[in-house]
Amino acid sequence: MGRAGARLSIQMKTILALETSCDETAVAILRGGNGHPGSELLASEIASQIAEHEKYGGIVPEIASRNHLVHAPRLLESATRNAKIDMENVDAFAATSGPGLASSLMIGASIAKGLATGFRKPYLAINHLEGHLLSPFFGDGEVNPNISLIVSGGHTMLLRVDGLADYQLIGRTVDDAAGEAFDKVAKMLGFGYPGGPEIEKRAHNGDPTRFNLPRSMLDSESFSFSGLKTAVRYLLPKLKGDYVEDLCASFQQAIVDVLVRKTIAAAQKENVAVVTVSGGVSCNGELRRQLRDACARQGCKFKSAEAWLCTDNAAMIAFAALLRLQAGFESKVTDEIDPNLALA
């Protein structure tokens, strides 16, 4: 019994991760190990800057990086206290190294590198998009082959996933990401930032068939939402009366149609039986419902990240770091951040 307990303690690893790719400052502590299904999230702390950037209608990099410096020390203290762990007992430190805002990425990466160096522990530089991609498997012991749709404010892409670090890009947006289109149309309608949740709220009681908005590049593996955004801009001056809810519903449905059709087409072409969705826009209830239904019709298993894991957070970064550490990956503290870091 004593020996089994010793083996368990040796196998278990504790990861402390920071996420500062944009305007969310986040710290998480995760424990897991080889041969053990799942992992235990010991702490997850997030400081949002939405209120500070809302008046500008978008993210101001200088404000974001300055606030990361203010929030990070407090979140580190809070995370270790809530996890009931001392920093010297952390087995590895991780941080988002890209893609994202350079001035923001630098804060989290510098802190993680400093901690790894000071405590002589491994450092892992994690791709923000890999954090999203793996998040539907959060807590699982392994990553199964799947077609992954990552859809967020800055990214819209489809990938074939055959395992950890084995990703093949199928298609990505050639212009605006889906989340970017949501925010820009929301701004046209006079909504606040971020605009996606408000459009979804207004769309709930709207008629998605009232306005015939474009679905661009339906027969391509790539995405394009710029034309949809432009169509709304030209349509707005012609509208009178009560139209906001119907326009929101029509706009939302146009995006959902594109995302669902391309994802299912990719699953069929690649002959993969599992479809996953992640990223901030995947919080959209209509997207989840219609993609789940489409998967059921095609005989595919649908797997989505939990809502709290879809927006920027450090728990997904810690999970990606844990899987990489278990697989033998490790980064150098001399590795630079990369604002344009590619996933595949």
> Does residue 133 share a domain with residue 78?
yes
CB contact set of 226 (below 8 Å; sequence gap of 6+): 175, 176, 181, 216
> Does residue 319 share a domain with residue 220?
no
Buried b (16+ CB within 10 A) or exposed e, 6-27: eeeeeeebbbbbbbbbbbbbbb
The candidate with the shortest Cα–Cα distance to 170, out of 265, 50, 276, 99, is: 265
Inside any domain, residue 343: no
State the pLDDT confidence band at 34, using cuts at 50, 70 and 90: low
> Does residue 316 share a domain with residue 286?
no
User: Which range has the worst mean pLDDT, 36-45, 148-157, 276-285?
Assistant: 36-45
Q: What is the pLDDT of residue 102?
A: 96
* CA dihedral angle for residue 299, residue 301, residue 307, residue 310, rounded to 10 degrees: -100
> Could you tell me whether strands 166-172 and 156-163 are parallel, antiparallel, or unpaired per DSSP bridges?
antiparallel
Q: Left, alpha or beta for 149 (phi > 0: left; psi -120 to 50: alpha)?
A: beta
Domain that holds residue 284: 146-304
> Does residue 319 share a domain with residue 299?
no
> Does residue 153 share a domain with residue 289?
yes
Inside any domain, residue 338: no
Amino acid identity of 165? A
Q: Is the pLDDT score of 313 beyond 60?
A: yes
Inside any domain, residue 337: no
Q: What is the pLDDT of residue 193?
A: 82
pTM of the model: 0.93
How many folded domains does the chain comprise? 2
Q: Is the pLDDT score of 285 beyond 90?
A: yes
| CATH assignment at residue 243 | 3.30.420.40
DSSP track, 2-15: HHHHHHHHHHEEEE
Inside any domain, residue 332: no
> Does residue 101 share a domain with residue 43?
yes
DSSP state, residue 338: -
Instruction: Check: CB of residue 206 under 8 Å from CB of residue 189.
Output: no
Average pLDDT over the chain, rounded to whole? Answer: 93
Both structure tokens of 245: 């809810």
What distance, in Å, lies between the first and last C-alpha atoms of the chain? 45
> Does residue 266 share a domain with residue 195?
yes
> Does residue 176 share a domain with residue 32?
no
Grouping H, G, I as helix, E, B as strand and the rest as coil, residue 302 is strand
250-259 pLDDT per residue, tens: 999 999 999 9
Instruction: Check: CB of residue 45 under 8 Å from CB of residue 26.
Output: yes
Q: What is the pLDDT of residue 3?
A: 35
Higher per-residue pLDDT: 148 or 67: 148
